Amino acid sequence: MFAEAFVRDRLIVSGDAAATVRNISASQQLWRWGVAADVSITLCDVAEAVLLFVLLRPAGRSASLGAAFFRLVYSAAMAASAALLIGPLHLISQAPATAEVQALVSYSLRLHDAAFAVALSLFGIHLIIAGWLIARSTFLPRPIGLVLVVAGACYITNCFLGLVAPTLADGLFPWILLPGFLAEGALTLWLIIVGVDPVHWIAADAVSTP
């Protein structure tokens, strides 16, 4: 949220490459902190993939492994998209703010947005599998799992609409991502405040363990 709302939304001026280059040039350290925030979240996602695999394994060992796999691939795609944000800094530092530099910076940022959207489609598959596991489990609330499935489908839909019908995607954004915000927030709060039902988790784990 820091990188997206406080850094990029503040410095990137839609449709004005010259203003965007000026803003990034004047706030390079802030831009670097935004990239660092993206990388830190990617590292946390790798750890979360492992933790969720252990947590959801009793509900389905193979499906839990699949959810972890898509989360890890998503993390790799997010790392690649974060690397694209370093490009504008190199371009600005090595050349004056010419029209060519402005065009290349704009192109780099568009590539980042595309990579970010593709990464979210992978995350959407992860959410669908994880939500299905939660919905069929006995140690986490079924409604949270069902909303996670809907959220995952919304992420995937948003990605493909951006590829084949960008005008429609712009009209649905950001409302199409609202289920993800609600579902992920609900799961986070539940795990922090309530946690899993230990009795049912241990019983399910005993049944699922070969």
Residues 46-81 have pLDDT tens digits of: 999 999 999 999 999 999 999 999 999 999 999 999
Residues 125-136 have pLDDT tens digits of: 999 999 999 999
Share of the chain above pLDDT 90, in %: 63
- Cβ density class 65-86: b for 16+ within 10 Å, e for less: ebbbbbbbbbbebbbbbbebbe
With beta carbons less than 8 A apart as the criterion, state whether 156 and 179 touch.
Answer: no
Given a cut of 80, whether residue 95 has pLDDT beyond it is: no
- pLDDT recorded at residue 169: 83
What does pTM read for this prediction?
Answer: 0.89
